[in-house]
Homo-oligomer: A and B are copies of this chain.
């Protein structure tokens, strides 16, 4: 396959300059990091001031979507088509080296760049909002009370075509200076995991409702990133596959 189709173009904006061995422009890797996350951090500028807003997002092909209240200052600004940077990061552990200098963090992150644009077409908006709901809870759209026109009007939907992106990943043990391995100092990695910690039913649920399969996919103890990826890929069983 044409390599161009598999990787994002590289410019001054997304070029990984430091620790280049950790960087990648591979679309598959970028998408997989994005699709295993619930929240991103949207960076944008209003009157020269940077803002970073954590927000739920979802992906369709090369487009990222996020939404919020029509009254949101962030979304009103972004509706004007300003440049944004969407960043996602997973923290996998603390890397304890034999010196402060080589101590680090294990992580998987993506920075994605593009221009925000407001989705104004009503059908597109309604369809995308359904994709959003089903992306996190498969099949949920058909169970939910449908969105009203008033609710759609009260919601702004933003979209961004990913023009450029880079992924950065660090895994594994510390990499110390050769001579430091002779030091009698413990080194290693403290691993972190984000898990499903159980499901809490609303006490106001009607007595005869049960947990639907789209919720049961969040099995207690399952990794959240792995669950979100599996749902994204259409695997809606609650097993670890």
Given contacts A43-B85, A188-B201, 15 further A-B contacts (CB under 8 A): A18-B72, A38-B94, A38-B105, A39-B107, A41-B54, A43-B51, A50-B83, A54-B87, A91-B194, A94-B136, A100-B144, A103-B133, A173-B202, A186-B209, A190-B196
Known interface pairs A100-B132, A190-B218; A71-B202 also in contact (CB < 8 Å): no
Closest to A75 in B: B18
- Max count, chain B CB within 10 A of own CB: residue among A186, A193, A200: A186
Shortest C-beta distance, A187 to chain B (Å), equals 4
The answer to whether A96 and B183 touch across the interface, beta carbons within 8 angstroms, is no
Q: Mark A79-120, 1 if CB is under 8 A from B, else 0.
A: 000011111010100101111110101010101010000000
Is there a chain B Cβ closer than 8 Å to A191's Cβ?
Answer: yes
Cα A224 to Cα B56 with chains together (Å): 22
Taking CB as reference atom, which chain B residue is nearest A209? Answer: B186
How many of these chains are in the complex?
2
Tell whether, in the assembled complex, residue A200 and residue B185 are in contact, meaning their CB atoms are under 8 Å apart: no
A141 touches B (CB below 8 Å)? yes
Q: Is A60 in contact with chain B by the CB < 8 A criterion?
A: no
Q: Does A21 contact B (CB under 8 A)?
A: no
CB contacts (< 8 Å) of A71 on chain B: these are 17-18
Give chain B nearest CB distance to A10 CB in angstroms: 14
A43 to B53, CA, bound (A): 10
Contact partners of A185 in chain B: CB under 8 A: 143-145, 209
Contact residues in B for A43 (Cβ distance below 8 Å): 41, 43, 50-52, 85
Within 8 A of B (CB), among A170-185: 173-174, 176-177, 180-185
- Known A-B contacts A105-B38, A190-B196; A183 and B145 likewise in contact (beta carbons under 8 Å): yes
Between A and B, 25 residue pairs with Cβ closer than 8 Å are A18-B72, A38-B91, A38-B94, A41-B89, A43-B43, A43-B50, A44-B50, A50-B83, A53-B111, A94-B136, A94-B137, A94-B218, A99-B145, A100-B140, A100-B147, A101-B155, A103-B144, A145-B177, A173-B200, A184-B208, A186-B210, A187-B201, A189-B199, A190-B199, A194-B194
